[in-house]
Amino acid sequence: MSEINKKLRKWRINPGKVIIFTFLFILIFNFLHTNTVFAQDKLKCELCGKTSWGKYWTYDNATYCDECYKNYPHCYSCGIPVKDPIILDGEHFCQNCYSFKLPKCDGCGIPVHKCWIKKDKNGKISRYCRNCLEKFSDKCSLCGTALIGRYWVINSTIVEGPRKYCEQCKSKGKKCFFCGLLVSPYAKPDFEGRFICDGCSKNLIEKSYDYYPVFDSVKRSFLKMGLKVNNTPTLSVVGFKKLKQLGESVTYSTGDKWGLYKCTKVITGTGADRSIFLKTSDIYVVSRLPRELAFYVITHEYAHAWYEERVVTSRGPVIDEGFAEWVSYHILKDHGMNYLAESLKHKKDIYGEGLRKLLEIERKRGSDGVMDFILE
């Protein structure tokens, strides 16, 4: 130090003044170029109003002291500390972000953070809060719960339009014996052990004698179509278990769980002189069917009666059943039962296969072409 002092004296520089000027330089430098040592007099914290001495934080020209920055929650969107935050879906938001930056619910108009997006059949996207989502969502056809997340869609063969069900109803519900839609898990079966949904229950034919007006309507429809049955079969209304027994006990029978046709056929003569006589001809229909389903079942079985009077040798189950379905398809259409008629084309059994084959022949050759194909 003595050597330095000697040189300073030689240059006529006072060492004390050097120290003072050096300290002042460091002080001014920190004041002008750092936020971590001292703050300007006008840097007041936006939350507490105190001058921000020491370390401070700035957001969009707003200043926050270090204490407020650490102690108050921060806006989920912009990150600033908020004294009185708006809490939405468990997150904190400042008033500005809540009012202007968050998307709005298309149902009630309030800002939403965790919104649910729903797309309609035209591709339009809507955003909903939880309450509006439950309000505008499809409901379970059985319990009425809003369908949020995974759900099941079930189509019926005799009821128009699909039905949607929540997972709980799908796992616990029973299938309706007639339409295949779900029945409440608390529903009780009828006297034959069948579960029947509310829709089918309202349209059941309860009395056996109420089937005969339906049969008369079927016969008139056949005459209108140019199909005359010479030996009108006997119509019998039986229980489900009895129908099942009849189907197992006869040599030749057609039908499913709702109806059955059986006959005793006598063939005489050969070639052009060959004639067919039905010694017995009977239609059996299960009791307590929904009215439209009863009309279809009787139509199908009555078509077998016409077929058996004219066809000597069976063409196989696909064509035999396909012809009965083809006649049913056109008569159902004529009576305005379009959904039931169209559902026949989508069956995945021999009934649907035969119908699709005959409809293709009709498309190429017309209805006369179908009759020629059957009788050839």
Q: State the pTM of this model.
A: 0.65
What is the pLDDT confidence band of residue 32, given thresholds at 50, 70 and 90? very low
- pLDDT, tens only, 41-69: 457 888 787 776 677 777 777 888 888 88
Around 70, how many Cα atoms within 13 Å sit in the side-chain half-sphere? 5
Average pLDDT of the segment spanning 361-375: 91
SS3 262: strand
CB 330 within 8 A of CB 355: no
- Top pLDDT among 120 and 368 is at 368
Residues 310 and 316: their CA atoms lie apart, in Å, by 15
- pLDDT, tens only, 246-259: 877 554 444 457 88
What is the pLDDT confidence band of residue 8, given thresholds at 50, 70 and 90? very low
State residue 201's pLDDT score. 84
Among 115-119, 138-142, 237-241, 372-376, the least confident range: 115-119
State residue 251's pLDDT score. 43
Tokens standing for 10?
């030689």
